[in-house]
Amino acid sequence: MADSGDIKIGIPGAAGRMGAILITQVNKTDGFSLAAASEIAGHDAIGRDAGEHAGLSTLGVAISENADALFAASDTVLDFTLPAATQIHAECAARYGTALIIGTTGIEAEAQQALETASEKTVIIQAPNMSLCVNLLMRLAEQTAALLDEEYDIEIVEMHHRHKVDVPSGTALGLGGAVAKGRGVSLDELADRGRDGITGARRRGAIGFAALRGGDVVGDHSVIFAADGERLELTHKSASRQTYARGALKAAQWAYGRAPGLYTMADVMELGVAN
């Protein structure tokens, strides 16, 4: 039985790979308890015990298809689903005053607006990557870009497993945003997201992206600052999705009792102003 003082966690997408990792992390971390779990309507996991489905013992929490019930039962919901689902979850979060931790990437304008609207009524923490070390990498990349001028070309290289569908990764784009912020420039104007054929010389000040896909790589990211005669590489390699789950629970703990607003992992980690 969970302690009555535990932060009650809800997990949508509970039958997925990340859902199982989140359930496992909640179950083994003091101060948290699994309050609810959900899946899309018609999923064959509906009705099953969330713990058993994740490879644990019975936790007494059945996977349901009711998102409203998930939010009503939870202090905080950990959302690593899909953009369309996350938009619906933001509306639920606002309705029930439930904190929402978002690790979903690929969110476009309409869904992002839903998050901003929901943040007027509850705590929303959004990050392209929940890993504590990745968020530290973002801050280091921002600081480095602020210190090194356009004599240093910036390239962002990422590699993920063969099943990943979005390119560049949300983390790579987050790193791009960090270095652009460090230099005080627009990522949209300077991003170079694909090279093929006779492209001509590299555009001065461009922020380049390269994406590799293969095998079961969880996520590797490097930010390269290259000038004549020297090169600096800032690199993070993830061997387990558990790092995302640990970061999400740190965010959930930080969110508890916090005033409504749209926050980032930089707020959670108190990384302060980069430059």
pLDDT digits (tens, 9 = 90+) for 150-164: 999 999 999 999 999
What pLDDT is attached to residue 2?
43
Q: What is the mean pLDDT of residues 194-207?
A: 93
- Please compute the mean of the pLDDT values over residues 210-221 and round it to a whole number: 96
Task: Answer whether 62's CB lies under 8 Å from 49's CB.
Answer: yes
1, part of any domain: no
> Rounded mean pLDDT of the chain?
94
160 is catalytic: yes
CATH number, domain of 164, equals: 3.30.360.10
pLDDT mean over 186-194: 95
Same domain, 148 and 12: no
Tens of pLDDT, residues 84-115: 999 999 999 999 999 999 999 889 999 999 99
Amino acid at 131: S
CA distances from 164 to 13, 44, 80 (A): 17, 23, 14
For residues 22 and 115, state if they share a domain: yes
In a shared domain, residues 51 and 185: no
In tens, the pLDDT along 45-84 reads 999 999 999 999 999 999 999 999 999 999 999 999 999 9
Q: Is 55 left (phi over 0), alpha (psi -120 to 50) or beta?
A: left
164 flagged as catalytic: yes
Which pLDDT does position 123 carry in this prediction?
98
This prediction has a pTM of 0.86
Across residues 206-229, what is the average pLDDT? Answer: 97
119 and 158 together in one domain: no
Q: Which pLDDT belongs to residue 194? A: 85
Total domains present in the chain:
2
122 and 11 share one domain: yes
In a domain, 274, yes or no: no
120 and 168 in a common domain: no
In a domain, residue 246? The reply is yes
- Of 53, 160, 181, 236, the catalytic one is 160
Are 40 and 75 in contact, with CB atoms under 8 Å apart? no
- Same domain for 232 and 262? no
Examine the pLDDT at 275 and tell me if it is beyond 50. Answer: no
Strand 76-79, strand 63-64: pairing: unpaired
> Which residue, 151, 150, 168, 174, is CA-closest to 209?
168
Q: What is the mean pLDDT of residues 199-226?
A: 96
Q: Which domain holds residue 51?
A: 7-126+241-268
**DSSP-H helix ranges across 97-156:** 109-118, 132-147
Q: State whether 122 and 255 are in the same domain.
A: yes
Q: Are residues 177 and 197 in the same domain?
A: yes
For residue range 201-212, list pLDDT tens digits in order. Answer: 999 999 999 999
